[in-house]
Structure 1
Amino acid sequence: MTCLPAAFDQTLSDLLGAHWRTDTATLAAHAQDNSWRHALPLGVALPEDRAQVQAIVRACRAHGVPLVGRGAGTGTTGAAVPVAGGIVLSFARMNRILALRPGDRCAVVEPGVLNGDLQQALMPHGLFWPPDPSSFESCSIGGNLATNAGGPRAVKYGTTRDNVLGLVAVTGAGELIECGGPWTKDATGYDLTHLLVGSEGTLALIVEATLRLAPRPRAQAGLRVLYRDASSAAAAVSRVMAQPATPTTLEFMDARSLELLRGNGAQVPDAGAMLLIDADGDDDTLPNILHALAQAAEGEGLLALDVAMDGSAREQLWAARRALSPALRRIAPGKINEDVVVPVSRIPELVAGVQALSARFELPIVTFGHAGNGNLHVNILYHPDDAGQNARAHAALPEVFALALALGGTLSGEHGIGLAKRAFMAQAFTPATLAAMRAIKRALDPDDILNPGKVLPDAEAAHR
């Protein structure tokens, strides 16, 4: 679509007034997300309530205008990029915390609420919302819901999908649907709540969410464990996750990651790999949990194991960990960042396979991430202006996905599919499974106006 119908433009102008934007600066500000893919929309709508969202969707359907829902734009797969033209619907103005219900351990929020702002509002109540992606201070709850965001705490507390109780959403037909609610048990009908979480705005636009909250732990402590090589650390991940004590976080970092940590000011000795293991509980139980985790972490290749009880020391190490992804630019200006998942028991094979790919393609590949969930971030680094490196980097990417799938894994643990991985969906799912997904898409978005061209592969590619 190269231009908007005049009647559509007038409808949105009448509905939104100054919050219907078609000026150059606003279009440019909504043309990309953190994937750095870029496509200009033809307009940007900023509704203030669900009724306006319904009216916008109905107008888009009536005039055949594609619509992309957008949160804070921190996603990395291009899911919020309007590649089909049309308009972007920004939830920036729908940013109200509608209710905090400590007695029910839930909060009711609009999608534009920032994760960090919600966490601050919950602190006086001794509660928190578990999803903690690296962008938690600036990412929106709606974006977390759209991608099923996770973060380090997902090892113990689960991803976004595990921490949502109910949703209100607008389908591609402009209908308002309500599913779930402020309860933790529900055996009533189909589970639309968890279907919509992770659907990246392709099925419906979430306008309200009831979130499951958790009590803040009374005590926390961590282990910093250094290993001779990556394979020793990967083997330790399997041991840690096989014993009864569940860590709050279990992060893996390879040798190149440790170099970057030191560059960020973290006091980390030379080693082949490191695990950061956090645990929480109360003053009575935490020492026993920490002891069990330390015992499991010990083994072949161990160089050092330190207990970090001091809050400032732990925070410094975690701040350096969160800064790892942007710090990769120090190695090379080009980066392909994928977040594949394998069963935890196969983490050693994934790490070994990625190291082999790095050697074969003669490119640095930095690996770190949420090993307790089997979810590692594989970062292929290259110089885009070097034709050889560029070609090798993009040739290595399919092999990373093929490796993860061969190990019984999947394409993404928390970033989602968006544009970046949709071509590989036919390798991850059977034609019948993809057909079922398409049938759900048609039922909720009959005219394919919601985020078209994302998540599902083209029909002709839907074979294994």
Structure 2
Amino acid sequence: MPNDATQAPLSEAFLNTCGAALPADRFLTDPADCLPYGSDNSRRTMLPQAVAIPTSESEVQAIVRACADHQVPLTTRGRATNTVGGTVPVQQGLILSMERMNRLLRMAADDRYAEVEPGMLNADLQKIAGEHGFFWPPDPTSAAYCSIGGNLGCNASGPRAVKYGTCRENTLGITAVDGQGRLLKTGVYTTKGVVGYDLTRLLVGSEGTLGIITSAVLKLTPVPAAKATVRAIYDGIEPAARAIARIMAQPETPCALEFIDRNAIAAIRAGARGTQVDLPDNAGAMLMIEVDGSPHALQAAIDAVSEAASGDGLVELRQATGAEEIAALWATRKALSPALRHIASKKINEDVVVPVSRLPELISGLDELSAQHNVHIVNFGHAGNGNMHTNLLGEPEDMDRMHRCLDDVFDLVLRLDGTLSGEHGVGIEKRPFIEREIPAASLDVMYEMKRVFDPKGILNPGKMLPDRTA
């Protein structure tokens, strides 16, 4: 349990107000019905006192106003794939589940955007956009079952961000309900617009602490005509890290550049989630490099990234042939994170980011910390952005040592001009470390913004910003 405190019972007036706003099957108060909504992929759990399942903006507004009037904590939930406890109701209160607000509101193919509700799954949006020859660039590993609202809440973007940008670069506008129940409309339906402050980018990545997204206008990109995948194997992690910097310094930007270290390779050899990929015996690190574009220019792009990938420590460089081999490579990469649960019962899953040029220092530093703390560390991630998924593995008796190691990992990342989260968010897990990265004056401004959007402090309390009594 993340919080031992018990919230005061919900008042009859609050329950009556919510009961009038929603039918009984979409306003739950029985603990047995509420319990499934109290956890996420962080494996933390807290029992909410009520669950509201709206189907419209007006219902969201009614529930938010009731929570504000009665000082009831409100936590917004998508599909709960969050790994840092972002949707765990640490102060109990009410869970606002957006699962049924999942409609396509508008498909404007000629203007290259789609307007959707936040409960739509990423995979469903990709299917709809694909029927018109487009895709939405953000593609986190959990795309098959994560929601658009969750993607926007954490700015979760996946491998394609290296070329096409994150959620922030691919969201034109948002409609959201603030902590007073006001309906806010931000952004534009055009690819240019500079009227007013950029509240769209502010809401993206705010983890439900400033407002509840009820719809979003998403910028679509044409599906490339051709694509190719190159696999580069190195005898160690440092040669691979140097190759990443070379690849990102040449003009042909890959649409994905994924890094897998030797410990992750061991998991692949063990058959992560049933996938099998043939790897050389001396493989110490692997890069998966994907390029896309027009068919006549594709070979030039392959040649450019292959040349940059070549250098000391290269064991094997080859282009994947056929859809089956490409699918096997990506299935293996996407199976890595859940597969680590089978290696150890405890996993601390971080997504730190450093400038690409500092990746060799990060990788070597993580190796040193692994040895220093006697903690098994597995690294893989979106190397083209410098975004490393660093996994500390162990058993329950190792947790103290793992947390001391994590403390040093964060210090290392900040020394390298990095940031503590690229796309997982802050949630509960990283709150104690935020003041190491964000200066006090900047935090002051963030607290002031929080009070403007959420004056009663009901929206996702206990997340993101550290506690402040003053």
TM-score range, shorter chain: over 0.9
Match for 2:442: what amino acid?
T
Deviations 1:21-54 (A, max 9, x none): 0122321111111000111110000011000101
Choose which of 41, 45, 69 in structure 2 pairs with 1:62. 69
Identity of aligned residues (%): 52
2:104 maps to 1:97: yes
Match for 1:70: what amino acid?
R
The TM-score, its normalising length taken from structure 1, stands at 0.97
Partner Cα distance (2:241, 2:235) in 1: 11
When structure 1 is superposed on structure 2, of 264-273 and 144-153 the one drifting more is 264-273
Corresponding residue for 1:267?
A: 278
Match for 1:93: what amino acid?
R
Partner Cα distance (2:146, 2:44) in 1: 18
Partner Cα distance (2:369, 2:13) in 1: 54
Q: Determine if contact 2:31/2:49 at 8 Å carries over to the other structure.
A: no
Match for 2:448: what amino acid?
A
Q: Determine if contact 1:254/1:272 at 8 Å carries over to the other structure.
A: yes
Deviations 1:317-376 (A, max 9, x none): 100100000111232111000000000000000000100011011121000000100000
Q: Determine if contact 2:231/2:288 at 8 Å carries over to the other structure.
A: yes
When structure 1 is superposed on structure 2, of 324-333 and 349-358 the one drifting more is 324-333
Partner Cα distance (1:238, 1:182) in 2: 36
2:9 maps to 1:3: yes
Choose which of 340, 352, 355 in structure 2 pairs with 1:340. 352
Deviations 1:264-290 (A, max 9, x none): 222222311010000001110110011
- What is the 5 A alignment of 1:265-414? 265-270=276-281, 271-384=283-396, 386=397, 389-414=398-423
Partner Cα distance (2:174, 2:324) in 1: 37
Gaps of 5+ in 1: none
Deviations 1:135-155 (A, max 9, x none): 000000000010000101110
Number of matched residues? 458
Alpha-carbon RMSD across the aligned residues, in angstroms, is 1.0
Partner Cα distance (1:44, 1:268) in 2: 48
2:436 maps to 1:427: yes
Corresponding residue for 2:248?
A: 241
The TM-score, its normalising length taken from structure 2, stands at 0.96
- What is the 5 A alignment of 1:160-179? 160-179=167-186
2:442 maps to 1:442: no
Gaps of 5+ in 2: 1-6
Deviations 1:170-193 (A, max 9, x none): 000110110112101011110000
Corresponding residue for 1:192?
A: 199
Match for 1:16: what amino acid?
L
- What is the 5 A alignment of 1:84-163? 84-163=91-170
The alpha carbon displacement at 1:309 in A equals: 3.9
Match for 1:8: what amino acid?
F
Partner Cα distance (1:363, 1:55) in 2: 49
2:49 maps to 1:42: yes
The alpha carbon displacement at 1:455 in A equals: 0.3
Task: Give the 4+ runs in structure 1 shifted more than 4 A.
Answer: none
Match for 1:302: what amino acid?
L
Partner Cα distance (1:330, 1:86) in 2: 34
- What is the 5 A alignment of 1:214-225? 214-225=221-232
